[in-house]
Amino acid sequence: MRLQLVAVVPLLLIAMATDSPSQDKRPASLAGRSTVYAPHGVIATSQPLASAAGLAVLQRGGNAIDAAVTAAAVLNLVEPHMTGIGGDMFAIVWSAKEGRLSGLNASGRSGALMTRDELLRRGHDAVPIHGAEPVTVPGALSGWSALLERYGTISLAEALQPAIQLAEDGFPVTPIIARQWAAEVEKLVRDEGARATYLIDGDRAPAVGEWFRNPDFAATLKLIAEGGPEVLYGGELGRRIVERVVELDGFLTLEDLASHRATWVVPISVDFKGYRVWELPPNGQGIAALEMLRILEPFDLAAMGHNSADYLHHLIEAKKLAFADLAGWVGDPGHMSVAPEALLDDAFISRRRSLIDPARAAERVDPGEALTTSETIYLSAADGFGNMVSFINSIYWEFGSGIVVPGTGFALQNRGAGFTLEPGLANTVAPGKRPFHTIIPAFVTRPTPDGGDEPWLAFGVMGGSIQPQGHVQVLLNLIVFGMDLQAAIDAARFRHLDGRQVALEGPIGVAVRAELAARGHIVLPDGVVAFGGGQAVMRLERGWAAASDPRKDGLAVGH
């Protein structure tokens, strides 16, 4: 029997971490939040209304998977520049009933008409970032449906109800989201659907606290609630998408949508200091986090000191090596010439580790341009039954392609920009191919006396190439330096970009910056890049802990 949920988002009296625009520039690692502890269940998302919607599901007896999909639908509405059914999603689920992890790859493929020759004929030297050309099959909705079918207790229609209600009634826009939205006005005005959907009076973004409604999105969700995901994958909604994409010189066909399927996969893992860290296999970049951990494990990181120059240097150099392997080998698994496990092999890792010079930054390890941009939401949830889910959903760049099919209320992703036009690589653009993906959920288990595994942590850090770097930094904060969950997320981060360029968050001091520069790193000025945003839920001996990144407008809640 499926649990019936009342389609109401509860009004929670929540003290948000960002009350005014002036707080957007606060030192992120000094935000002063506490880890959330709860006896029955927890959820952490990047926006309070999504956390509230997920918590309501848990409180009414739904499970973590129900809560995650419900929250994801709300995030499509309240963080429309980051996520939605126009994009892709991935998840790692711990099923208490099965006593194991399962992975879900709900990323879409390139259109049947998307060829390297055609892009070159059009004069491109890279897959475009904006417009209809980089639009690939949106896989997220198939993933939401697959999760609920296998592990949920509510229907997809029930999970969509809170988002439908909010889209119809409207909501006040939160500070960080308002600022990011305002930065994309120039992009949104170029497309009639985007302009009509996301700009007030067709020319400005909503201000902080200003109410925003999206009745077109409510109508789209009602259509899906009534007809199921098939309305997108070959049905009425799909036809509207294809007609508009083709009109704008894109590459999708209706058959591309109709043939799409989300794929259940086996997560890959490495042991690290008594824990087992899990990521999804390619076409994502999760393997880079695992390679970084393997490279770093023999070093005495604790003795180096947290965020010391020596510590950061080793992490940065490990990142360069792992990302070189991403660029050279990783893409659609059906087109890779190297098995993912080969990139984690002892001998391979030893050779890569030997390339780290403890005194000098490598000039350039990445063979190609590093991917440094992605707009994403990450959430995690756990329930009183023992289920946990690590869930990520993205439309890639801010508002994705910038294309909104008029009347649908959501942006289409530009994930095709993740392909390369360089020939002969696993990630070279081709028809019907999954592009290299930046979005990655993560999970950590601990060994049990009987030789099995028990769930410990579902976590993630959103934000393009910061994601593997963020995964490693959060894990080291927890496992090596013994921080509590919120402190591990709050702590100042580095973000390596390309070559010798690295950005450091403000709390990392002048002396450390000077020492890194002396080793050859080019330390960028403050404010050049973002450092991601993370969420995490942790299993305790009894009950749960949860944390949400102060770099976003998010919230961790429990009951």
* 266-297 per-position pLDDT tens digit: 999 999 999 999 999 988 889 999 999 999 99
In a domain, 171, yes or no: yes
Helix (H) or strand (E) holding 221: helix 215-227
As a whole number of angstroms, the distance between CA 426 and CA 330 comes to: 6
Q: Are residues 315 and 400 in the same domain?
A: no
Which active-site residues does the annotation give? 376
Pair of tokens at residue 275: 């824990």
Nearest alpha-carbon partner for 506 in 461, 542, 551, 465: 551
In a domain, 31, yes or no: no
As a whole number of angstroms, the distance between CA 107 and CA 498 comes to: 26
| pLDDT recorded at residue 157 | 98
Helix (H) or strand (E) holding 319: helix 309-329
Q: Residue 501: which domain range?
A: 265-372+442-558
Pair of tokens at residue 381: 């949830």
| pLDDT recorded at residue 364 | 65
Q: How many domains is the chain built from?
A: 2
Q: Are residues 287 and 305 in the same domain?
A: yes
Residues of the chain falling short of pLDDT 50: 1-30, 366-373
| pLDDT recorded at residue 31 | 57
| pLDDT recorded at residue 94 | 98
| pLDDT recorded at residue 326 | 82
As a whole number of angstroms, the distance between CA 530 and CA 522 comes to: 17
SS3 at position 179: helix
Torsion sign (Cα): 247, 250, 255, 257:
negative
Spatial neighbors of 424 by CB under 8 A, at least 6 apart, are: none
Q: Are residues 89 and 229 in the same domain?
A: yes
Q: What is the pLDDT of residues 398-410, one digit of tens each?
A: 999 999 999 999 9
Q: What predicted TM-score, i.e. pTM, was given to this entire model?
A: 0.90
Spatial neighbors of 197 by CB under 8 A, at least 6 apart, are: 214, 216, 217, 404, 409, 410
In a domain, 7, yes or no: no
| pLDDT recorded at residue 8 | 33
The overall longest dimension of the chain from CA atoms, in Å, is 64
As a whole number of angstroms, the distance between CA 551 and CA 293 comes to: 24
As a whole number of angstroms, the distance between CA 51 and CA 47 comes to: 6
Q: Are residues 354 and 403 in the same domain?
A: no
Q: Are residues 348 and 400 in the same domain?
A: no
Q: Do strands 403-404 and 501-504 pair parallel, antiparallel, or not at all (unpaired)?
A: unpaired
Ramachandran region, residue 383 (left: φ > 0; alpha: ψ -120 to 50; beta: rest)? beta
Q: Are residues 317 and 412 in the same domain?
A: no
Q: Are residues 166 and 253 in the same domain?
A: yes
Q: Are residues 113 and 183 in the same domain?
A: yes
